[in-house]
Amino acid sequence: MSARESFVARFGGVFEHSPWVAERAFDANPQVALTTNAVHAALVAAFRAASDAERLGVLCAHPDLAGKLAIAGELTDDSKAEQASAGLDRLSPSEHARFTELNTAYTEKFGFPFIIAVKGLSKDDILSAFERRIDNDRQEEFETASAQVEKIALLRLHSMLPGDANA
Structural domains of the chain, with CATH: 57-149 (1.10.3330.10)
Are 15 and 43 in contact, with CB atoms under 8 Å apart? yes
Tell me: the pLDDT tens digits for 43-100?
Answer: 999 999 999 999 999 999 987 776 654 554 555 677 677 777 777 778 888 988 898 8
Q: Quick check: is 62 catalytic? A: yes
Write down the pLDDT at residue 66.
63
Write down the pLDDT at residue 54.
98
Please give the model's pTM, rounded to 2 decimal places. 0.87
Q: Exactly one of 17, 40, 62, 158 is catalytic; which is it? A: 62
Tell me: the pLDDT tens digits for 8-57?
Answer: 999 999 999 999 999 999 999 999 999 999 999 999 999 999 999 999 99
| Mean pLDDT, rounded, for 128-149 | 96
| Mean pLDDT, rounded, for 152-165 | 84
C-alpha to C-alpha distance for 157 and 54, rounded to whole angstroms: 21
C-alpha to C-alpha distance for 16 and 59, rounded to whole angstroms: 8
For helices 3-11 and 19-28, what crossing angle results, to 10°?
Answer: 140
Cβ neighbours, 10 Å, residue 43: 25
**DSSP notation for 82-131:** HHHHTTTTS--HHHHHHHHHHHHHHHHHHSS------TT--HHHHHHHHH
C-alpha to C-alpha distance for 17 and 20, rounded to whole angstroms: 9
Write down the pLDDT at residue 111.
96
At 135, is the secondary structure helix, strand, or coil? coil
